[in-house]
Structure 1
Amino acid sequence: MPPVAPNPRKSPKLGFTFPPVHTRSRLASPSTPPPATNSPDVAKPAMSNMWQRILSGVVGAALLLGSIWYSEWTFGLLFGLIQALMLREFYRMMKELGFKPAAIVGISLSLIIFAAAFVYALVSNLLDIAQATDRLFVQELSHYLKWVRIEVVVIAFLLPLILFLREMYSWPREKQPFSPFPNVGVALIGLFYVTLPMSGLNMLAFGPTGYDYRRIFALLFLIWAADTGAYIAGKNFGKHKLAPSISPGKTWEGWAGGALLTLAVGWALGYLLPDMPLAHRLVAAAVVAVFGPLGDLAESMLKRSTGVKDSGRIMPGHGGLLDRFDAFLFVVPVLVVLQLLFT
């Protein structure tokens, strides 16, 4: 028997097999040279999420504060658009569950409701100011106020009818697991959940002397303080979960930190609103501290139930408008009720 030639690919010292000498790596093939680093076709790294959040946050805050400060009309136009887009996000999320609400009808009616609330607040305030000075002007304002009330009543009574007529016109639907009645219910829930609370901002924006941008500024500062305090305290001291099945990241320690910072900002708002008593500012701060996180949890529950991460993508790095203004949906109704009862 001829002697067996030793395997040239075995290394007795290293104990592993080398690849054959004639084998070439496809990545190192001479026919495909590596791309040049200075080639214009090489994609540049995208903007980081942090810088996206900072840039969109600064632009959004400037637009928001500037519109509130400039006049009552820019305030009304901006928040009317915001609440319409929030309702659009809500209807889109409901479509993820298979519902088909009347989005166009609902959004159109939401704009009418917000405009009616704005005109009602504006005319009521002018009526209070002119009550003792100009009787003729008071009569004209009372006439406009009457028509606004009639408009609101007509919408309230005809809205379900309009939605049902829309379902009757399009029935039956293909690939629709729900009956038309849940579609009507979802459309109405969106108006109650989004439009009515955001329309209540008009009642808060007008003070004894007319439109007062400082009142909306104060509300924004309180809500931002609650979010900031909760984030800082929760990140450093958070141990006990607030609602783990809805939002695992929220803790009782974070809520306490947000509440303390909100009360502190409520006290400091005396420099912005010196004519507002301290008790009123602290009550408003307490409402934000309690109902702001509840609004956030409600929106988190909505997103979990529909299986979406963000309500929209209108603000890069921040999600949708419903993500940014979810606290308003619980805070504003409570503040409006307190204002009607005690002022």
Structure 2
Amino acid sequence: MKTRAITGFFFIVVMVGAMLLGAEVFLGFFTLLSAWCLFEFYGIVCSEDRKPNKFLGILTTSTLFITTACYSLGWLEAKFILLFIPVLLAIYIHALYQKRDFPFNDIGFTILGILYVGFPFYCFTRLGYITGDFNHFLPLGFMILLWTSDTGAYLAGRSLGKHKLFERISPKKTWEGFLGGIILAVLVSLCLAYYFQTIPQWQWIVTAVIIGVFGTLGDLVESMLKRSLNVKDSGNILPGHGGFLDRFDGLLIAGPLVYLFLYLAN
């Protein structure tokens, strides 16, 4: 427990620092983080029948991140973002030379990693630009609400939890914890609306509900993935916490939905 707490503390400090130190650090940090999470995903799904193309999958995602970051920083025109397309298509062509029995298993899991891991992180980084120029308040607020929802779910589930949410996937999660996470996230969103006036209060509240609901579902989806592969953690880089992908499972579904909501609302 002590190791887990120390790791969690420094993890949060690094995360917050990456969001507060400017657009360059923010974009660079989450480009590297997304690549590592994708590497972990490919690592846990890889088997004799499934050999995703790690190099091209990570290269596709990194190309999208880097070109978008350069555009956001004013270093490239928007049209250069489309450079990720030929890299993506190379995944199909490369499979022709592999002489594998089930090449589309490899192709499918390579692209699944891009969609399941890379795309949500991409949406998260775009939160910093919802209002135009880079603003750290939205990505920082997103992470605060995600951590708050997790904390509220843990506390409510531990003290009040009786009714299982998805017992076959995560035996410890309960409906009481699920609702507790949403309620605490909404309460914290009211504080964020007061201090982070980037978006109106009602948008912070809706954002909190989306994160509370779909952050939990994202956690369950990753649990479902690991159970189907008989894997406990996505990695061991974080003592007491597993891999980076384990720490960001709530972002994988909530991130794109929050970005979609705020993009349409602003």
Tell me which interval the TM-score lies in, with the shorter structure as reference length: over 0.9
- Residue in structure 1 matched with residue 162 of structure 2 by the alignment: 239
Structure 2 gap segments, 5+ residues each: none
Deviations 1:197-235 (A, max 9, x none): 101122201253621112111111100111000000000
2:79 equivalent to 1:146: yes
After TM superposition, the score normalised by the length of structure 1 is 0.74
Structure with the greater relative contact order (CA < 8 A, sep ≥ 6): 1 or 2? 2
User: In the alignment, residue 7 of structure 2 is paired with which amino acid?
Assistant: S
2:93 equivalent to 1:165: yes
Shift of 1:275: 4.2
Deviations 1:158-215 (A, max 9, x none): 523x12332222214xxxxx51111101000000101111011222012536211121
Shift of 1:101: 0.7
Equivalent of 1:104 in 55, 66, 75 = 55
User: In the alignment, residue 169 of structure 1 is paired with which amino acid?
Assistant: Y
1:97, 1:306 within 8 Å by CA — same for their partners in 2?
no
Shift of 1:119: 3.4
C-alpha distance in structure 1 between counterparts of 2:42 and 2:189, whole Å: 35
2:166, 2:173 within 8 Å by CA — same for their partners in 1?
yes
- Residue in structure 2 matched with residue 280 of structure 1 by the alignment: 203
Alpha carbons of 1:115 and 1:233: their partners in 2 closer, same or farther (altered >3 Å)?
Answer: same
Look at both structures and tell me which one has the larger radius of gyration over its CA atoms: 1
SS in structure 2 of the partner of residue 326 of structure 1: coil
- Residue in structure 2 matched with residue 314 of structure 1 by the alignment: 237
Structure 1 gap segments, 5+ residues each: 1-49, 124-140, 173-177
Shift of 1:323: 0.6
SS in structure 1 of the partner of residue 172 of structure 2: strand
C-alpha distance in structure 2 between counterparts of 1:198 and 1:184, whole Å: 21
Shift of 1:144: 1.1
2:85 equivalent to 1:156: yes
User: In the alignment, residue 108 of structure 1 is paired with which amino acid?
Assistant: L
1:118, 1:199 within 8 Å by CA — same for their partners in 2?
no
SS in structure 1 of the partner of residue 165 of structure 2: strand
Alpha carbons of 1:145 and 1:264: their partners in 2 closer, same or farther (altered >3 Å)?
Answer: same
Alpha carbons of 1:147 and 1:95: their partners in 2 closer, same or farther (altered >3 Å)?
Answer: closer
Equivalent of 1:78 in 24, 29, 51 = 29
C-alpha distance in structure 2 between counterparts of 1:55 and 1:96, whole Å: 34
Alpha carbons of 1:209 and 1:194: their partners in 2 closer, same or farther (altered >3 Å)?
Answer: closer
2:145, 2:189 within 8 Å by CA — same for their partners in 1?
yes
Shift of 1:62: 1.2
2:56, 2:88 within 8 Å by CA — same for their partners in 1?
no
1:1-343 mapped onto 2 (5 Å cutoff)? 50-96=1-47, 98-123=49-74, 144-148=77-81, 150-151=82-83, 155-156=84-85, 159-160=88-89, 162-172=90-100, 179-208=102-131, 210-343=133-266
Shift of 1:294: 0.7
2:182, 2:209 within 8 Å by CA — same for their partners in 1?
yes
User: In the alignment, residue 213 of structure 1 is paired with which amino acid?
Assistant: H
Shift of 1:52: 1.2
RMSD: 1.8
Shift of 1:251: 0.3
Shift of 1:117: 3.0
After TM superposition, the score normalised by the length of structure 2 is 0.94
SS in structure 2 of the partner of residue 248 of structure 1: strand
Shift of 1:297: 0.4
C-alpha distance in structure 2 between counterparts of 1:156 and 1:67, whole Å: 28
User: In the alignment, residue 114 of structure 2 is paired with which amino acid?
Assistant: L
Tell me the number of residue pairs that the alignment of Structure 1 and Structure 2 aligns.
Answer: 266
SS in structure 2 of the partner of residue 169 of structure 1: coil
Q: Between the two proteins, what is the percent identity of the paired residues?
A: 35
Deviations 1:129-184 (A, max 9, x none): xxxxxxxxxxxx8x812333x42xxx336523x12332222214xxxxx5111110
User: In the alignment, residue 319 of structure 1 is paired with which amino acid?
Assistant: G
Which is richer in helix?
A: 2
User: In the alignment, residue 238 of structure 2 is paired with which amino acid?
Assistant: M
